[in-house]
Chains A and B, each alone.
Chain A
Amino acid sequence: MTTLPVASVVVPKRTFALDARAIKIVVQRDLIRTFQDRTRFISQLIQPVLFLFVLGSGLSSLTGSATGPIDLRTFMFPGVLATSTLFTAMFSAMSIVWDREFGFLREMLVAPVRRSSIILGKALGGATIATAQAVIVMVLGAFVHVPYTFGLVLTLLAEVFLLSFTLTAFGLAIVARITQVQTVMGLMQMLLLPLSFLSGALYPLSNLPTWLSIVVRFNPLTYAVHPVRTAVFAHLTLPDTVRQRLNPPLTWFGWDVPTWMQLGLVAVMGIGLMLVAIRQFQRVE
């Protein structure tokens, strides 16, 4: 047997570049895994199709002239986009429970990088996947008269990316301590529909019963759905009365919360939830 030269150990200094490499590879792995699993990717597209073309078309006959000159489905589109982002982002966060159950999480947690890099990689991975999926949902939007312009597409993508980052961080913070896939499945069932139903994704925020209008304002998702809808409505030509009914300003005690502030709120929540998730994963025995 030939003796190979003893491999020298090169210990890189802990630098930002090193953590960046770790973040990148964690994102890459999530992307590879997702696009390998086409079934999952496609099955997550079924839901927006159902909402938009089945539920939307069906309800159109009921609402009739209530939506004025615009298609109900155009109105629903921003909510459908946000809801599908919610599902994809949360499922991405869930993958860390799988990684834990099948042992791979350990491989990541024993590596000589900051745990925050691993978690940040997971959140960015989830955000990237959700945004990629949003691109496909946006193609569906073209069939329901969403008045796309280049600027609108960019705005929507940026908003979806921000939202999906926050939602993945939210998911990670929730699942951090969960060790079993079954548990997390149940938990997601419990969270996902209430979150989307209480966000104004599928109905306008005007004329809501008081209790509902309060609950909606406590739901973080509301602050992501509203900017998306506002962006779409900005490109529609509508009588003011219709606009007022379908896309009323989001208010706190009668004060209009500006769009930048809503997005800022989503970003701050994203960072906060990220820190919570990192803390959860940083606990050493």
Chain B
Amino acid sequence: MSAVEVRGLKKSYGEIEAVKGVDFDVQPGETFGFLGPNGAGKSTTIKILCTLAKASGGSASVAGFDVTSQRDQVRRHIGLVFQDTTLDNYLTAELNLRFHAELYGMPRESVAPRLEQVLKMVGLWDRKDSKVITFSGGMKRRLEIARGLMHSPRVLFLDEPTVGLDPQTRASIWQYIHELRQQEEITIFLTTHYMDEAEQCDRIAIMDHGLLVALDTPAALKASVGTDRVTIRTSDDEEALKRLPDAIQTGDGIVLNVEDGEGYVPKLFAELGVPITNVSISKPSLDDVFLSYTGRTIRDSEVNPGMPAFFAAMRR
């Protein structure tokens, strides 16, 4: 059974078709990256999966439950961590989690041990009695992740889990995500605008103009947009060029476009017959993938801090 199953999903807002028929599956235990420029239909799709919006057509199920007809079952099996904080700043960390446990109807005897487990996982156990308002941005995000995990969801939705955080905090959040994957039998569905984060996903889907334009592992996606680029410097470039008819001489050296750079280089050393003094392999990045599928770089499509976000930032 798939953790998430989407079939012919459509959503229109009046005249505007935000999602125009999308199909995909997410396997249990997978970390699934969901990418796309703003307005691509990404958020709408997630809203439907989280039962926060109704689909206009098609179907979707999460953790085996239909998002339309089994709304509460879906909600009980998913954890949600939104981009904007949804914590009560004036309650303590522990009370925020307890509130969540009550709303999700957790068995009473499991609340205390689970609370300790998730707070320790995100390193906030010693701050459980502090009010959330005293927390830094990174701590709040960690607490939100802990809360999202509180009721042991099967699928955890992370919407831009690290946006607006400094690199160190981002790294630590990812550390928690990795630990989580080892500790719990959980599927992670996340959106991100950071390429290095997308890289850590098992598979990536890219949406654009309401359609799914790509879906595969990061490696396969990169392979699909181009070949590895091997650049060498030799003691005799002219001779090397003669022996490598496909190579191009550039200012950086001799450039070869090959399928499998790592496999090609040892052969090159063995067979070229001209001493090689320097070698580098560069692979197509996910940014190249994103660019080739959407016509924009992932950076360009990053959340444009519009007025609401601006005011939200001012308020902090």
Q: Taking beta carbons and an 8 Å cutoff, which residues of A are in contact with B?
A: 1, 3-4, 6-12, 14, 18, 21-22, 24-25, 29, 32-33, 36-37, 102-104, 106-108, 110-113, 284-285
Contacts and interface: CB of A to CB of B under 8 A. Distances in A.
Interface string B39-81: 0000000010011111000000000000000011101110010
B237 to A, nearest CB: 51
20 contacts: A1-B182, A4-B117, A7-B114, A10-B107, A18-B105, A22-B105, A25-B103, A33-B91, A102-B85, A103-B84, A103-B85, A110-B50, A110-B80, A111-B103, A111-B104, A113-B72, A113-B105, A284-B52, A285-B47, A285-B53
A12 B105 CA distance: 7
Contacts of B152: 7-9
Given A3-B183, A7-B184, A111 B86 contact: no
Interface of B: 47, 50-54, 71-73, 75-77, 80, 82, 84-91, 95, 98-100, 102-107, 110, 114, 117, 151-154, 179, 182-185
Contacts of A10: 106-107, 110
Contacts of A108: 103
B86 A106 contact: yes
A112 B47 contact: no
B52 A104 contact: no
Nearest to B92: A32
Nearest to B121: A4
Contacts of B104: 111-112
B105 A112 contact: yes
Contacts of B114: 7
Contact of A285 (B52, B77, B106, B185): B52
Nearest to A106: B86
B103 A22 contact: yes
Contacts of A14: 72
B225 to A, nearest CB: 35
Given A110-B50, A112-B72, A11 B86 contact: no
Nearest to B117: A4
A112 B91 contact: no
Contacts of B153: 9
Contacts of B50: 110
Contacts of B107: 10, 12
A57 to B, nearest CB: 38
Given A3-B183, A107-B100, A32 B95 contact: yes
Given A12-B105, A32-B95, A285-B47, A110 B183 contact: no
Contact of A102 (B89, B95, B184): B89
A30 B75 CA distance: 24
A9 B105 contact: no
A113 B73 CA distance: 10
B184 to A, nearest CB: 6
Given A24-B102, A112-B72, A112-B104, A9 B87 contact: no
A11 B76 contact: yes
Nearest to A18: B105
Contacts of B76: 9, 11, 112
A10 B89 CA distance: 29
B62 to A, nearest CB: 12
A113 B117 contact: no
Contacts of A36: 90
